[in-house]
Amino acid sequence: MRLIFQKSIEGRRGFKIPKKDSPLDTPFPKEYRREEDAELPQVSELDVVRHYSNLSRMNFSVDTNFYPLGSCTMKYNPKFTEKIARLPGFAELHPLIPQLLGGGLLAQGSLEVIYRTEELLSEITGMSAFTTQPMAGAHGELTGVMITAAYHKFCGNRRKYIVIPDSSHGTNPASAAIAGYEVVVVPTDEQGCMDIDKFKEYLNEDLAGVMLTCPNTLGLFNPKIKEITDLAHKVGALMYYDGANLNAIIGKARPGDLGFDILHLNLHKSFSTPHGGGGPGSGPVGVREELVKFLPIPRVAKRKDGSFALDYEHSDSIGYIAPFYGNFSVLLKAYAYMVYLGKSGLIDVSEKAVLNANYIRVKLKDYFNIPYDRVCMHEFVLSAQEQAECGVRAIDIAKYLIDNGIHPPTVYFPLIVKEAMMIEPTETESMETLDNFIDVMIEAARLSKEDPQRLHRAPENMPVGRLDETKAARDLNLRWQKA
Amino acid sequence: MSFVPHSPLEVKSMLDTIGVSSIDELFSDIPEDLKPKSFNIPEGKSEFEVIEYLKGLSFKNATSLINFLGAGFYDHYIPAAVDEISSRSEFYTAYTPYQPECSQGWLQSIYEYQTAVCQLTGMDVSNASLYDGGTALYEACMMAIRITGRNKIVMDSGVNMTYRAILYTYTSNLNIEFIETSVVHGQSSRREIYKHLDDKTAAVIVQNPNFFGAIDDHSDIVKEAHARGALLIQSVYPLALGILKTPSEMDCDIATGEGQSLGLPLSFGGPYLGFMATKREYLRKMPGRIVGKTVDKKNRAGYVLTLQTREQHIRRERATSNICSNEALCALRAVVYLSLIGKVGFKELAELNYQKSEFAKSVIDKIPGVEVKRSSPTFNEFTVLLPKNADEVVSKMVAKGYASGFPLGRFYKGMDDYLLIAVTEKRSKEEIVKLAESLEAVLCD
C-alpha cells in the first residue's frame, strides 16, 4: 500500500485549525524560525481514516486471530476497560495537578486507583509494597536490579554479579548489565530447571542477586524453587522474580511465599491490558518489607483521614524512573480487570491457562518432539528437530500457521531448545480454537515429510511473502523521502 | 466469570485427554507448603458495577479546571479521528510485529511514524519510539557515551527537571560525570557550557524550548561541542517545530522529546511517547526498535523490524539497551494526528499557540506588581514573577476554577515567586482575559 505521505495532494486539508481570536499580531522572531515547513502529508480526514483502517486490516490481532505466543500471554482484552480508560475524569488529568493544591487533593480518584492497584498486586504476589512507575516489563527489571544495587550499597557492599539461567528472557541479562552488574549464566538440568549444583558454584559474597522466571520459559514450575531462594539468601543475595509467566500461578502460588524479594509484573500479559502492537505496557515492581524504602518516589500514601497523597519522603529511594506515576491508563485497565474478575475469577484464569496448554501438549506429542515432556504450566516448548531432518524448520511451520490464520508461537526461544516453538494458548481460548490449531500443526508435521516445499513457500495467502531481512539490514531504508 | 469459554463438560473431556482426574493434579509441581499463605481478594463484580465504581472515582479528579498548566505536558486538542483509529482492535490487540507477513499494517504505520519524526526534526533517521521523553533523553545520553567512548555529560539546567531526575536515577550505578550549567536570561549559559567542554565530554544536553518556555538557537554551542569531539543532544517540544528552528538546522546530533503533544491525552502521566532521531552516521548506535523497508521473493515491497542484533532478545547482556517494548499505539496516535493536521495545519497550529501565548503575556503584564519575564523569546509558555509566593497564588486560583500554571519554586531554588504559564490553542481569548482578572483579584486579597 502507498504511504500516507505518497497520498499527499498539494493544498488538501484534513483538519480545521481554530481561528485566532486575539487582537495582537506578534511576528514569530525570524532568527528562530525553521527554514522549510515540515513535509507532513496533505490529505483529507477520510484519506487518513481510510488509509489507517485499511492498514489495520493487514494485521493479525487477538480480536481476529488466535495467538498461541509463548511468554506473551495474548489473552482476550475486555472492552469495558477501554471505556473506563477514556473517561474524561481520568484521561484529561494533568500529571502535575497534585502540585497545585495540598499534594493530591485534586487527583484523589487517580491516586486511589494507584493505591488500590498496588494493594491488590501486593496480595496477589505476596509482597509488602509496589511501585507502579515502570512503564514496561524490562523497565521493571531495571528498577528491580537498581533496588538490588541500592540494598547492597546500603549494607555496605554493592557486590559484583547477577546469576541468570540460560533459559531466561533476553531482558534479564540486558537489565542487569545496564544497571552495572556482570552477568553469570547457569545452565538448565535434565528436568528443565536451573542446575542447582552449578548454581552452588556461584554462591559467595559477590553474588548480588538471582533473576528467575517461575514457571520458567519452558513452562515448568521448579519444585525445588524454595531451595534455590534459601541458598541465595544464605549468602545475602536477593531473589528477583521475572513476572512474565505469572498467569500460570495466580492464586496457586505467590512469589513472596516462594522466597522472592523483588518482582515485576507485566500488566499487558497477566492482567489483560492490550499489547498495542508493541506498547504501551506496564511493569509494576513489588518488594518485600526490607526493600520498601528503596522504591522509586513519589509513592502514594493513605492519610489518616482516608484521603490519598503523594509521598516523597524516602531518603533511601532510588529516585525517579518515570516522569510521574507510570503508564496510568494501562494500570487503570488492569485494575478494572482485577476488580471485575475478583478472587475466583483470578484463580480460574490460571487453572484454564494451564488446562489449555496441557491439552495442546498431549495432543501434539505424537507429532513433535517435546524435550521436557511432563505436566506443564501455562506454556510448553516443542522442538521441530525431527521436521528439521526433512529440511523443514520451526520458522517454516510458523509461516504455515500464518497461512492458516494463526499467529505463530514464539520461535527459537528459549535458546536451549533447538528449533524451539513456545506455545501459550492462554485461558480465554476455546476448545474448538485449540483443536483447530492442533489440526494445523499435525498437518504441518505431515507436510514436512510429504511436501516440504509447501512449508518453504509459506506464507502464500498474505499481502507479502517472506521478506528479505538481510536486505533490510544492509540497504537501510528507514523513512520515506520526497523524490 | 473471567472471559474463559470452558463449559464443565469441555473441562472434563480435556482432563480425560490429558489423562488427569482434576485440575489440581496439573498443579502438583507446586509443593503443598508453598501454596499461598493468603489470597485475600474481594469477589468479582459485574461490568456495570465496575464501570459505575470507577466513574465515581473519576469524578474525584479535578479535570474541569481551565488549564494553563504545562511544564512539559500540554493540553492540546485531539481530533476525534485519532481516538477512532487507535481504538481499532486490529491495531490495539495486535502483538509486536516480529512476524512481518501478518503485521504489515503495524510495520507500515511505524515506518510512517519514523518518517514523520524525521520531517519534524529534520534528522535523518528515527527509531520506533521509547517509553517517554525522559527515557529517550537517557538513551540518547548512553548512545553519546557509546559513540564517543567518553563519560562526561554537560547538561543545561533548562532541561525539564523531571528528565534530569530520571537521568540521575538511571545512571546512579554507572561511572558518568554530570555537570549542570545555569540558565542566564532564560537561555543556556554559553560561558558555563564552554568552560566544562573538554576532551572527556561525551555530550552537551539542551532543551528547546527550555523548561521556562524560552526558545534558543543552539548552533553556536553545537559548533563548540563538535570542535571538542562532543555530541549535542537536543530535547524538543514537537509541536513547537511547526515554526521553530529544527535540531537538524542547528546541526544537533541527536534529537529527542516527548510526543504527548501529538494527539495523546494527558492521562495523569502516561502512557506517553519518547521519540528519538539522529544523523545517519549514528543510526547503528541508536537503541530501540526500528522498522525498515525491504522486498519479498516476488519483489513486493514490505516492512520489517530491522537491525535487531542490537536488541536484548538477540544480544542479551551486550545489547545497546534493555528496552523491549516501544510505545507503538502512542506512536500510531502521533502519526495519525500529524497526518490529519497536515503540513499547513501544523505550522498554523504552532503559530496559533505562539500568538495566544503572546496575547496572554500582554494581558498578564498589565497586572500591577506582576512581571512577565521577557529576556528571551518564548513559544507557548512563559515565566511570570509574582509579588507573592506562587504556591499560594496557584492554590487560590484553583478555587476560582483555574489550573493557572506551574509554581517554579517546586523545582528551582529561589524561584518561589515565579509561575510558569502555558497557553495552547484550546484557550480562548475570554479564558485568557479572565485568567488575568482572577490573578489580579487573588493578588489583591
Partners of residue B381 on adjacent β-strands: B422
Question: What is the rounded distance in angstroms from the CA atom of residue B404 to the CA atom of residue B112?
Answer: 37
Q: Which residues of A touch B90 (CB under 8 A)?
A: 56-57, 59, 61, 63-64
For B392-426, write each residue's pLDDT tens digit: 999 999 999 999 999 999 999 999 999 999 999 99
pLDDT in tens, A236-272: 999 999 999 999 999 999 999 999 999 999 999 999 9
| A155 inside 8 A of chain B by CB | no
- Please name the member of B55, B295, B307 whose beta carbon is closest to the beta carbon of A471: B295
- Minimal Cα–Cα distance from B333 to chain A, Å? 11
Q: Distance between CA atoms of A380 and A361, rounded to whole angstroms?
A: 7
Residue B249's closest CA among B120, B377, B344?
B120
- What burial class does residue B199 get, using C-beta atoms within 10 Å of its C-beta: 0-12 exposed, 13-18 middle, 19+ buried? exposed
Determine whether the interchain pair A89/B55 forms a contact, defined as Cβ–Cβ distance below 8 Å.
Answer: yes
The minimum CA-CA distance between B231 and chain A, rounded to whole Å, is 21
Omega before A298 within 30 of 0, i.e. cis: yes
Q: Angle formed by the axes of helices B429-444 and B390-399, to 10°? A: 120
Cβ-defined contact of A87 to B53 (cutoff 8 Å): no
Q: What does the alpha-carbon distance between residue B100 and residue A204 come to, in Å, rounded to a whole number?
A: 45
For residue B268, list chain A residues with Cβ-Cβ distance below 8 A. Answer: 90, 93-95, 97, 107, 110, 324-325, 328-329
Residue of A34, A108, A124, A181 to mutate for B, most B C-beta atoms under 10 A: A34
Alpha-carbon distance of A173 to A179, in angstroms, equals 10
Q: At B277, is the secondary structure helix, strand, or coil? A: strand
Please list every residue in chain A whose beta carbon sits closer than 8 Å to the beta carbon of residue B106.
Answer: 55, 59, 277-278
CB contact, 8 Å: A315 with chain B?
no
Q: What is the mean pLDDT of residues B194-221?
A: 98
**Residue-level pLDDT at A439:** 98
The reply to whether A340 touches chain B by the CB within 8 Å rule is yes
Q: Do A89 and B3 touch (CB under 8 A)?
A: no
Residue A271 CA to residue A300 CA, distance in Å, equals 21
Q: How far is A390 from chain B (nearest CA, A)?
A: 22
Instruction: Give the 3-state secondary structure percentages of chain A, helix then strand then coil, rounded to 5.
Output: 40, 15, 50
Q: Could you give the CA distance from residue A367 to residue B151 in angstroms, rounded to a whole number?
A: 55
Give which of A43, A83, A124, A135 to mutate to test B binding, by max B Cβ within 10 Å. Answer: A135
Taking the CA atoms of B361, B366, B367 and B370 in sequence, report the sign of the dihedral they define: positive
Q: For residue A282, give the chain B residue with the closest CA.
A: B271
Q: What is the pLDDT of residue A483?
A: 78
Q: Answer whether residue A103 shows pLDDT above 80.
A: no
Positive or negative: CA dihedral A145, A149, A150, A151: positive
Q: Which residues of B touch A17 (CB under 8 A)?
A: 341, 345, 348-349, 352, 425
Name beta bridge partners: A137: none
What does the DSSP 8-state code read for residue B72?
Answer: T
Partners of residue B28 in chain A, C-beta under 8 Å = 375
Q: List the single residue in B6, B42, B268 with the smallest CB-CB distance to A110.
A: B268
SS (H, E, C) A158-182: CCCEEEEECCCCCHHHHHHHHCCCE
B215 SS3 class: coil
A98 touches chain B (CB under 8 A): no
HEC per residue, B307-364? CHHHCHHHHHHHCCCCCCCCCHHHHHHHHHHHHHHHHHHHHHHHHHHHHHHHHHHHHH
A contacts of B432 (beta carbons < 8 Å): 22
Distance from CA of A234 to the nearest CA of B (A): 19
Q: What is the pLDDT of residue B317?
A: 81
Strands B406-407 and B402-403: unpaired
The residues, any chain, with a CB within 8 Å of residue B260's CB and separated by 6 or more, are: B73, B74, B133, B266, B272, B273
Q: A162 CA to chain B: closest CA distance, Å?
A: 11
User: The C-alpha cell of B19 is what?
Assistant: 489423562
Residues with Cβ < 8 Å from A313, sequence gap 6 or more? none
**Pairing, β A380-383 against β B183-184:** unpaired
> How far is it, in rounded angstroms, from Cα A397 to Cα A22?
64
Q: Which residues of B touch A51 (CB under 8 A)?
A: 339
CB contact under 8 A, A63 and B90: yes
Between A102 and A198, the higher pLDDT residue: A198
Residue among B108, B291, B395 minimizing CB distance to A55? B108
Nearest to B221 by CA among B210, B240, B234: B234
Give the minimum alpha-carbon distance from A26 to chain B in angstroms, rounded to a whole number: 7
A-B contacts at Cβ under 8 angstroms = 675
d(CA B93, CA A274): 5
Assign A1 to helix, strand or coil.
coil
B390 within 8 A of B54, measured Cβ to Cβ: no
Q: Which residue has the higher pLDDT, B234 or B322?
A: B234
Is the Cβ–Cβ distance between A330 and A281 less than 8 Å? Answer: yes
Once rounded to an integer, what is the mean pLDDT over residues B73-100?
A: 97
Res B20: pLDDT: 97
pLDDT score, position B321? 83
Residue with cell 497534585: A98
Cα–Cα distance measured from residue B337 to residue B344, given in angstroms and rounded to the nearest whole number = 13
Report the gap between the CA of A55 and the closest CA in chain B (Å).
Answer: 4
Quick check: B384 and B374 in contact, CB under 8 A? no
Report the relative pairing of strands A161-165 and A207-213 from DSSP bridges. Answer: parallel
- What percent of chain A lies above the pLDDT cut of 70? 100
Going by C-alpha positions, the residue among A335, A264, A136, A237 that lies closest to residue B96 is A136
Residues of A in contact with B332 (CB under 8 A): 52, 277
Q: Tell me the C-alpha distance between B424 and B148, whole Å.
A: 39
Give Dmax (Cα) for chain B.
Answer: 84
| Residues 6+ positions from A36 with CB-CB distance below 8 Å | none
DSSP string, B129-148: -BS-HHHHHHHHHHHHHHHH
Which residues touch B220 (CB under 8 Å, ≥6 apart)?
B190
Residue A36: pLDDT over 90: yes
Span A317-365, pLDDT tens digits: 999 999 999 999 999 999 999 999 999 999 999 999 999 999 999 999 9
Q: Which residues contact B416 (CB under 8 A, 6 or more apart)?
A: B389, B390, B391, B407, B408, B409
- The residues, ordered by sequence, that sit 6+ positions from A446 with a Cβ below 8 Å of its Cβ are none
pLDDT tens, position by position, A24-33: 899 999 999 9
Q: What is the pLDDT of residue A158?
A: 86
Q: How far is B140 from chain A (nearest CA, A)?
A: 14
Cell numbers standing for residue B321: 539497551
A220 in contact with B at a CB cutoff of 8 Å?
Answer: yes
CA–centroid distance for A197 within its chain: 31
Handedness of CA B422, B428, B434, B436 (dihedral sign): positive
CB contact under 8 A, A174 and B292: no
**pLDDT at residue B311, rounded to an integer:** 80
Is A9 part of the contact surface with chain B (CB cutoff 8 Å)? Answer: no
In tens, the pLDDT along B118-174 reads 999 999 999 999 999 999 999 999 999 999 999 999 999 999 999 999 999 999 888
SS3 A340: helix
Peptide bond into A371 cis (omega under 30): no
Which A residues in the span 13-32 are in contact with B, Cβ-Cβ below 8 Å?
13-15, 17-18, 20-26, 28-29, 31-32
CB contact under 8 A, A58 and B265: no
**B203 Cβ partners below 8 Å, 6+ apart?**
B140, B141, B144, B145, B148, B153, B154, B225, B230, B231, B232, B233, B253, B254
The 8-class DSSP code of residue A252 comes to: T
> Pairing mode, if any, of strands B201-208 and B152-156?
parallel
Contact A181, A161 (CB under 8 A): yes
The SS3 assignment for A55 reads helix
Instruction: Compute CA distances B167 → A139, A171, A380, B286, whole Å.
Output: 14, 20, 39, 17
* Residue A15 and residue B342 in contact, taking contact as beta carbons nearer than 8 Å: yes
Q: Are strands A308-311 and A299-302 parallel, antiparallel or unpaired?
A: antiparallel
Looking at CA atoms only, how far is residue B197 from chain A in angstroms? 25
At residue B314 the predicted structure's pLDDT band, cuts being 50, 70 and 90, is confident
> If we measure between CA atoms, which residue out of A135, A51, A56 comes closest to residue B138?
A135
Average pLDDT, chain A: 96
**Residues from chain B contacting residue A80 (CB–CB below 8 Å):** 47, 50-51
* Confidence check: pLDDT of A99 > 80: yes
Report the alpha-carbon distance of residue A129 to residue A311 in Å, rounded: 14
Contacts of A277 in chain B (CB under 8 A): 91-92, 94-97, 103, 106, 109, 328-329, 332
